[in-house]
Every structure is written in C-alpha cells, then in structure tokens.
Structure 1
Amino acid sequence: MRKLNSPMIYELRRPAQTEPGKTYPALFLMHGIGSNEQNMLSLVNGLEDRFYIFSVRGHLLQPPGFAYFTIQGYGKPHRDVFDEGINKLTSFIDYASAEYPLDKNQLFLLGFSQGAILSMTLGLTLGNRIKGIIALSGYIPAFVKEEYNIQPVNELSLFISHGEMDQVLPFEWGLANNEYFRELGADVTFKTYQEGHTVSMENHKDFMQWLLEKVEL
C-alpha cells in the first residue's frame, strides 16, 4: 500500500480493534537485498494485536525484489545512495508517527541483512527516539561511525544476532556491532547461532521473546 503523501511503499498490519485516543507501539520492518516488504511479515506473525507494524519496501529495484542502497565493495555501500536510503527511512518514520496513533516512546526497528545495517544506522542517527532495535546479521558502515552525527543511545536497547557460519557478512562484523553499541552505553543483547546468513527458528524465538519483554502495553 502507499498513501499519496508517504515517502515509501509499505505494508501495514495493525490491531483489529483500536481504541480512540489510545496510542500503540510501532514496529518498522526492513528487508534484505533483493527481497520485499512481504518477506519480513512472516517473522512477526501474531504481533499485530499489540503493534502497528510497518513493513517498508526498499525504493530501489533489485531483482527479484528491492533494495534500500547499493554496494560498491565488500561491506562498503555507495555513500550517496546509502545517505538517501537513511533519509527516506527517517522521513517514513516521521510520516508514520504523524499519520497513525503511535506511541512515540515505543518505536522499534527490525531488520535482516541490509535491513539490519539500516536499523543500526538509524539507531545511531535517531538515538533515544528509538526504543529498541532487532538487527539480524548486519554491520555498521565505517563512514557511519566516522562521519555521521551520532546521537546518544543510552536509553536504546538492541537485540543483535549473527550466524557463526555466515558466508555473506562475516561473523566478526556481528562481534564488532555488539562491542560498538556497548561502548556507546546502549543496552545490548547479543546472540550467536550455528547458522549461515539466515534467521533460524531459535533466533526467531529469542528475538520475539526479547521484544515482548521490552514493549510496554
């Protein structure tokens, strides 16, 4: 779906019954490269009773699906394309917060691979505006750490996971994400799995449990 004034195409799931005047936690989903907004929804089945869930489609065509940025080399996004993706996603979070009855103190991000890279970067640029991030198999680009305007993350919680046999994004990058956010004072839960570049059932169970512990209803 896409409302006329929305900066990005998205799929929305929300509680069947909403109470007038009440606000709800929000969950923004970001997919991996070549995927789409439908792909992530199966990971959060059942959460629509509690959350407004926005699954956001990448704005770039990347057959068989979409992407939010392009890559010039290993672990190196094209800077201008990446900046544009971050700006668009920030605008979308602002748009959703204005358009829907969201609890602005309970905004959560969930991303896999390219989506995890963006989720962690948005955590750094939006800081404590975000309550929690689930980052599955990603990394933080060097230029983000070195040149972006990093906001305080002392109230931010993260669930970061990585497969020990990840053949796409090295396991060491997952270790580095954990260390980096801890040094900034964020509350990090770091989990590793005997997996490749994927979301295992155990990983799924762990992050769902983490999310339900973090959300306030």
Structure 2
Amino acid sequence: MAEDKVNYAFVKGDPTVSPLLLLHGQGGDENDLLPIGKYLSPNSPMLSIRGRVQEQGMNRYFKHTENGGFDLNDLEQETTWLFSVLNDLCRKFDINYERFIVIGYSNGANVAARALLTRSDTFHTGIFFHPMALSTVDSKQDLSDVKVWMSHGDQDPIVPAQNFKVLDMYLEEQGADVTIFRHGQSHNLNEEELTNAKSWLAKSGRLADWRRR
C-alpha cells in the first residue's frame, strides 16, 4: 500500500472539528508544521505527510529539472502518489476526506494549489503560505465551493509578485473565493501572517463544515 512508503505524523483531535492536512516546505518534514497547525486550529485532528523526493538532501514533493525549472511530469506523478497516500490514511484514521483544511508552506503550498487547479478529487479549504504558479493551467475546475487564504512577501526572492498574481487569477477564474495577505518581509513565515490566517480560518465557517460559506 502507498501508506507503507510514507513518513507521516497524525495527531488526534476533536472529530467534530475539521481536520488539517499539513504540507511542509522544501527541506522540511512531517513535524515542521505541527506547531503551526496547532496554533491555527487547536482542536483539529492533524495529518502531516512528508514529500518523498530528495534533492541535495532536502525533502520535497516533486523534482526540479536539470535547468532548475519544475519537472511537471514528476509533479503529476508525485501528486498522484500523495493523494493515494492521503486516501489510505483517511481510511486508517477514519477521516472525512472532504473536510480537510490544507495548510501548505512554499513547496507544499505549491502542490496544494496546483492540485486545486488540475484535479477534481481535491479539497475545499486551503491556507497557502508563499505559494506560486508552477506553470500555465489549461484545465477548468469548478472551484465555486473553495475558500483559500494566501500570503505573499513583498521582498520574496523566490515568488515574484507577478507569479503570485497569476496564481490568484487562476484560482479566481475558476470560481474560488480567495483572500490575499501581503507583508513587507521575504519568504519567511512571520507572526503577522499567522495571526491573520488564524483569524480568517476562525471566521470562514470551515472548521465546522466546508459547505457553510
């Protein structure tokens, strides 16, 4: 089973509160975002899955190409693997897949955002710290039931402002309700954006039921 090939962490919580799926940034692991998940929603069950790709000793969710671009074929393959693992673990821990709130940072946020734009079997709520558009998007999804919060730093050397704007455009064109939080820092997480994300999540209605808008 896919589950046997993955490193993950599961933290029990209140089953009446929506669970969190945590996807780390480059070089992270399944433990990195647990404190952030606990801060954002203290009572949620939490599932964190480590990316199985390694580049220069750093964990990732998909490969780069030799020239430093994104390997989109590998991205598709690894995303399929990730969702297979996720379904296995949902059965193991009796989690309602549709209730997940996905918390992603950088590389993990990129995978989550891309999945929203290209897959029908994804999720309905996301908090994406410093995501970027990985390529053009040709497929059309109905994201009218999706709520997303995304952050971007004005001094971010990894995610250009125009790229972030394109990702926002893709999501909104397909019907997603997108909230943007900008700050003057870099690619780092900071207290200001974590506080804003927590406030947004509390007001979103999605901690109880994703269908409540």
TM range (shorter): 0.7 to 0.9
Q: After the TM superposition, which residues 61-100 of structure 1 pair with which residues of structure 2 at under 5 Å, given as runs?
A: 61-72=54-65, 73=67, 76-100=69-93
Deviates more, 1:62-71 or 1:183-192: 62-71
CA distance in 1, matches of 2:57, 2:9: 18
SS of equivalent residue, structure 1 residue 34:
coil
Alignment CA distance shift 1:51-1:6 (3 Å): farther
Q: Could you tell me whether the CA contact under 8 Å between 1:134 and 1:160 is conserved in 2?
A: yes
AA aligned opposite 1:211: L
CA distance in 2, matches of 1:97, 1:123: 19
Q: Residue 215 of structure 1: which of 166, 184, 207 is its match?
A: 207
Q: Could you tell me whether the CA contact under 8 Å between 1:127 and 1:150 is conserved in 2?
A: no
5+ long unaligned stretches in structure 1: none
Match of 2:99 in 1: 106
1:33 is displaced (CA, Å) by 1.3
Alignment CA distance shift 1:47-1:91 (3 Å): same
Q: After the TM superposition, which residues 1-217 of structure 1 pair with which residues of structure 2 at under 5 Å, given as runs?
A: 5-15=3-13, 24-46=17-39, 49-72=42-65, 73=67, 76-127=69-120, 129-142=122-135, 145-146=137-138, 149-213=139-203, 214-216=206-208
Q: Could you tell me whether the CA contact under 8 Å between 2:149 and 2:179 is conserved in 1?
A: yes
Alignment CA distance shift 1:185-1:5 (3 Å): closer
Under a length normalisation based on structure 2, what TM-score does the superposition of the two structures give? 0.85
Any idea what the Cα deviations from partners look like across 1:108-158, whole Å, max 9, x if unmatched?
A: 111111111101012223447512011111212225x13xx5432110110
CA distance in 2, matches of 1:67, 1:53: 20
Alignment CA distance shift 1:126-1:203 (3 Å): same
CA distance in 2, matches of 1:114, 1:57: 11
1:181 is displaced (CA, Å) by 1.0
- Provide the alpha-carbon RMSD of the alignment: 2.4
Alignment CA distance shift 1:163-1:46 (3 Å): closer
Q: What's the % identity of the aligned pairs? A: 20
Any idea what the Cα deviations from partners look like across 1:55-95, whole Å, max 9, x if unmatched?
A: 11110223554111121246x31122211221111112212
Alignment CA distance shift 1:48-1:182 (3 Å): closer
SS of equivalent residue, structure 1 residue 135:
strand
1:212 is displaced (CA, Å) by 2.4
CA distance in 2, matches of 1:47, 1:119: 18
CA distance in 2, matches of 1:183, 1:5: 35
Alignment CA distance shift 1:131-1:198 (3 Å): same
Deviates more, 1:78-87 or 1:112-121: 78-87
